[in-house]
Amino acid sequence: MVKQAESQRYIKLLRYTVYFFIISGLIAGFLMGVVRKNASPEVKVIIEWIFIIFENGIRSITTIVGFYLTIRFIKTSKGKISKFRLISFASFSISFIFLYLILPFILRFTEFYVALMPFPWASLPFQAPITGAHLTVSLTKILDWNGVVITLWVFYIYQLIALIGTIFLGRRWHCSMLCTFVGAHAEAFGEALPLIPHNKKRPRSKAVHPKMRTILFLFQIFMIVVCLALMAAWGMYFFAGTVIIPVKILISIERMKYLIFELYLMIFFMLFVGARSYCYYCPAGTLLGVIGRIAGQQITTGLTKCNSCGLCNDVCKMSIDIMSKAKAGEPVRTINCVGCGVCVETCPTGNLQFTTIFLTGYRNRKARSLLRTDYRNEP
């Protein structure tokens, strides 16, 4: 009873953290998207700083606090937390501390977060050299043209890291270890969301209703089309000087896409759908999911025997039907799996394992090495 009360206290604190994150995000987004348009130059500067404080400071601090509260909740309610989830939380936290707090402070350049948006999420490599900005952020304000150069270098290095890591570790690498946007927030706040249970019979279930999944699938198609169209328009202007859509309109579309679909809608879905709601229709996540499938990403089943408890389906924030595959002893292969490992951690029989071609080879080599060591140590 004492542990149960303690775990509920951590969940309550986690919900308060989520409320603060959401309210501050809505205020920052409203000021940047609505008030800033007709504001005086002096007020615009203040609004831009409020938005930077939210993007760099509030998002970082609330997410790191969320990781701590989630760890405490899991330990008090389940008794233990998997090694991978601890690595995931540490990786996210280091990314926030270094890229959002330390590096911007050292260089006095707070806009690094716009370079941490993986292809095809952002048109940054085309837009920044043309306008010296991206979304609502001027990359030249403090560092002149060096601001654009630095941001582009960070962007391309980040893309390379995301691609190489995905080839080895599947979608897990970016979506559950690097993504400082929804990926990090989902893992930090996920245990407290959604606020309204999807299933009254199983109130702890994260599985989304099939109709909502259809809506999210339509959003996925829409976002991919919009992102590719924006990059095509910027690319034509960048490479050929052809103006398909005027630059001012393109910038407005980019800004509205970010504020509506990547901020407002994400926050709405976090409350009523779940922590990973944006991951259903994230263009970058979709592409990384395809690369992950090529890399052999899957959840292996049949390690023991499925007892049909349904906990794997309940904890999956991407509504993947893991149990039916586990009962049949078949691997779970889908581009929607973000590799968070919660189902593996939750399975009471130890029936599941996340893997890729690389991880399978690594485990086999490790097993053979242990066998050789045991053989040499035999009397």
Residue-wise pLDDT for 62-85, tens only, equals 999 999 999 999 999 887 889 999
> Considering just the CA atoms, what is the radius of gyration of the chain in Å?
22
* pLDDT 10s digits, 208-226: 888 999 999 999 999 999 9
pLDDT score at 259: 81
Q: Per the omega criterion (within 30 degrees of 0), is the bond before 41 cis?
A: no
Match 């542990």 to its residue by tokens.
Answer: 3
* pLDDT 10s digits, 13-25: 999 999 999 999 8
Q: What is the mean pLDDT of the chain?
A: 89
pLDDT score at 371: 65
The pTM is what?
A: 0.89
Confidence check: pLDDT of 1 > 70: no
Question: What percent of the chain shows pLDDT beyond 90?
Answer: 52
Confidence check: pLDDT of 94 > 80: yes
Tell me if 177 sits within 8 A of 168, measured CB to CB: no
Q: Which residues are CB-neighbours of 67 under 8 A, at least 6 positions away?
A: 89, 92, 93, 187, 188
List the domain boundaries for the chain.
Answer: 2-196+207-291
The interaxial angle of helices 265-272 and 2-33, nearest 10 deg, is 160
Confidence check: pLDDT of 374 > 90: no
pLDDT score at 372: 62
* pLDDT 10s digits, 105-114: 887 888 777 8
Q: What is the mean pLDDT of residues 193-201?
A: 79
pLDDT score at 46: 92
